[in-house]
Amino acid sequence: MNLNFFIKLLELRDAYTKGHTERGVLYALEIGKAMGLTEEELRDLEIGGHIHDIGKVAIPDVILLKPAKLTEKEYEVMKLHVKLGYELVKDLDLPERSVEVLLYHQEKYDGSGYPFGKKGEEIPLLARIYTVADSFEAMTSRRVYKKAKPWKVALEELEELAGIHFDPDIVPYAIRVLSNMKESIVVIPEIDTELEKIRWSFYYLDFTGAIKGDLFLPTLEAFIEKGEPFCFTVFDIQNLFEINRKYGWEKGNEVLTKLVEAINVQCCAMFDIRDLIIKLMRQDILDITSPVIFRLGGDEFGVIAPYIPPQEKVQAVAKVMEEQGVKLKYLQMKFPESFRTSEEVLSLISEFTKNPYIR
């Protein structure tokens, strides 16, 4: 079996992996050159970097592509990617040192890593180098559930963890090399294929047409961090339980979908929701000019808008729903007048949804 087959397969399953690997290999090679590695060692390091995450092809999508931080149990499954990767490549004609990068890149200098708990020089040299490069890449990359650390902060963290997670003899080379590289090299890989749009739509698009709540908090925090005025509106259906009980769950689902349609018509410009999801995943908040609708709970929806929707537009949503026999309440909040932090928003939502029918 051709190694490139596995690499391409993993890239097609998880587009993030491609950029992560390319940057990790680049950093590792520059560190290796500074340390005086031979051409053969550099070649083996490069191959090892390209295959280090290959075992992720065997990790279930629900964990590999999860749009949030993994639970402890999920993380235990993810850790299996090292041994699974070895099973995939052990019969291929690969340099031993490259396979060692795959096997040991998650080990830590103090022995607290996995899968074998090796420490110090028990960990092969090329794996120790790649661990530094791989960790630095992860620190400085932004994902939907975490912010990227500034280049300077990540370099300081490498220094702080020397002798703990990382080989203290390698870290000085890494700091010198990475300090001279441009921070702009850290970018989220371009995600613009129809395949990615479809895949992420399954993960992030609710059946109602709203975006699932997984992306709400990081989007809200990104808008707050941006510092410009925006509006957040919560819509809460008061009698969904009665509708479900009287007419059935299918009718209740129709009501939820109707609410999202009404919000779209009255408060939002028409846009391709899949393109919007792509922007949110890439954290291109500056490019978002249309309101974003999130499903916050069973019958609660939130709209983040980079402008303040006129009050009559919001009232029109309530009127449309009332014509359908739906009791709806809503609350508009403006940044920074009504709130300044995401914690304040969550508190306001909690209080609002507990209150009786009000507008």
Q: 123-174 pLDDT, tens per residue?
A: 999 999 999 999 999 898 876 556 778 899 999 999 999 999 999 999 999 9
Burial of 66 (0-12, 13-18, 19+ CB in 10 A): middle
pLDDT, position 217: 86
pLDDT tens-digit map of 17-38: 667 888 899 999 999 999 999 9
Instruction: Report domain 194-354's class.
Output: alpha beta
pLDDT, position 359: 42
| 3-185: CATH, from 3.40.640.10, 3.20.20.10, 3.90.850.10, 1.10.3210.10 | 1.10.3210.10
Strand segments (E) across the chain = 211-212, 230-237, 292-295, 300-305, 328-335
pLDDT, position 271: 59
Instruction: Say whether pLDDT at 202 is over 70.
Output: yes
pLDDT, position 290: 74
Taking the C-alpha atoms of residue 122 and residue 109, their distance in angstroms, rounded to an integer, is: 9
pLDDT tens-digit map of 246-281: 989 999 999 999 999 888 888 776 556 667 776 776
- Domain residue limits, the chain: 3-185, 194-354
Average pLDDT on 49-59 reads 91
Alpha helices in 166-271 (DSSP H): 171-179, 194-204, 216-226, 240-247, 249-267
pLDDT band at 15 (very low <50, low <70, confident <90, very high): low
User: Can you give the pTM of this predicted structure?
Assistant: 0.68
pLDDT, position 9: 75
pLDDT band at 204 (very low <50, low <70, confident <90, very high): confident
pLDDT band at 67 (very low <50, low <70, confident <90, very high): low
Taking the C-alpha atoms of residue 34 and residue 27, their distance in angstroms, rounded to an integer, is: 11
